[in-house]
Amino acid sequence: MEVIYSEKSIKILKNKELLEKALNVAIAHRGREFSLTGNAEDEFFARQVIEAINFGFPVEDALSIVEKEFVFEVLSIKDYTRRKDLSVVRSRIIGKEGKALAILTQLTQCFIQLKDNQVGIIGDPEYMKIVQEALISIIRGAKHSNVYSYLEKHRPEPFLDLGLKETFKKKSSK
């Protein structure tokens, strides 16, 4: 049994049935404290999903951790800059009218959310390292155009399944 404290308890309670069904755990609550009951693997993923919801991600984006086998990571802005005015750094990440954040989301196919002095990322493990490096570059003051070109050059190649694994399994099972 796993116990989690959540600031977004109303959001979790509204979607409790959906979360229990998708995560394969039983969710009980007492105020802002939630207890998860299920097998260890399901509890681990449920904890990740609830932490993502608590961070500020929509429930649908948080559930992609389980459905699409994404990972959830948090970067602290303070770890990568010495600036005292972190609002400038946050505004660089968001960009004018949210354009920079939208472009980062589009190029990396990840969900990105800001909360205080932290950046939350939900995405494919193959993209995670690239997204983190891009965000760190923006935090440290790199030009947005340079970061975008870096992301375009370092996209992971799509995995092409030729069906060879299935034929190999069929031969070995005989």
Domain 71-153 is found in CATH 3.40.190.10: no
The domain segmentation of the chain, as residue ranges, is 2-67, 71-153
Mean residue pLDDT of the chain comes to 89
Task: Write out pLDDT tens, residues 102-148.
Answer: 999 999 999 999 999 999 999 999 889 999 999 999 999 999 999 99
Do the domains spanning 2-67 and 71-153 agree at the CATH topology level?
yes
**String of DSSP letters for 97-163:** GGHHHHHHHHHHT-EEEEETTEEEEEE-HHHHHHHHHHHHHHHTT--HHHHHHHHHHTPPPPP---S
> What pLDDT does residue 161 have?
64
Beta-carbon neighbour count of residue 88 at 10 Å? 11
Residue 159 has pLDDT above 70, yes or no: no
Q: Is residue 61 scored above 80 in pLDDT?
A: yes
2-5 and 33-37: which strand pairing? antiparallel
Q: Which CATH code for domain 2-67?
A: 3.30.1370.10
